[in-house]
């Protein structure tokens, strides 16, 4: 029996990423179709107030405000030039186990950095709110 790929590694494959672009406003006749977004490393991360947010699965850079003629790969390069996914010269299936694990370690580092940054912002916001409260007591 073939081994199933762990869920967190399936995101390395463009069809998995493309499947996240449900209700994406740009389809036919556009530069930023779901397939091209996925090929550039993006997954769709919409929210109620931000319906066109796309996030790189690797560097976790979020971009929004897409226009029909935006080139996903160029936008990714312009906003996150250091993303290791952009410099990947092989398909994930062509990587050795060692190469893949090294790459995924980098992705996990990026995920932790993003998480810490978000938590730091939350703490700063709470501190500001507490400071305002104290000043008004």
Structure-token match 């399936």, residue found? 10
Into which CATH architecture does domain 7-135 fall? Orthogonal Bundle (1.10)
Name which of 103, 99, 80, 77 is nearest 11 in CA terms.
103
Say what the pLDDT of residue 1 is. 55
Say what the pLDDT of residue 93 is. 87
Say what the pLDDT of residue 27 is. 86
Q: Which residues of the chain have pLDDT under 70?
A: 1-3
- Residue pair 31/58 in contact (Cβ under 8 Å)? The answer is no
Kindly report the length of the chain: 137
Say what the pLDDT of residue 11 is. 94
Say what the pLDDT of residue 64 is. 95
């Amino acid at each position: 029996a073939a081994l199933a790929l762990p869920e967190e590694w399936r995101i390395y494959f463009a069809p998995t990423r493309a499947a996240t672009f449900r209700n994406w406003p740009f389809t036919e006749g556009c530069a930023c179709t779901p397939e091209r977004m996925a090929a550039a490393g993006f997954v769709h991360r919409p929210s109620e107030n931000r319906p066109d947010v796309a996030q790189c699965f690797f560097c976790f850079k979020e971009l929004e405000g897409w226009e029909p003629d935006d080139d996903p790969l160029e936008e990714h390069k312009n906003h996150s030039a250091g993303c290791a996914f952009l410099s990947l010269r092989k398909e994930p299936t062509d990587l050795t186990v060692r190469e893949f694990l090294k790459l995924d370690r980098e992705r996990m580092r990026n995920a932790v950095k993003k998480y810490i940054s978000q938590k730091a912002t939350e703490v700063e916001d709470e501190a500001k709110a507490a400071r305002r409260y104290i000043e008004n007591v």
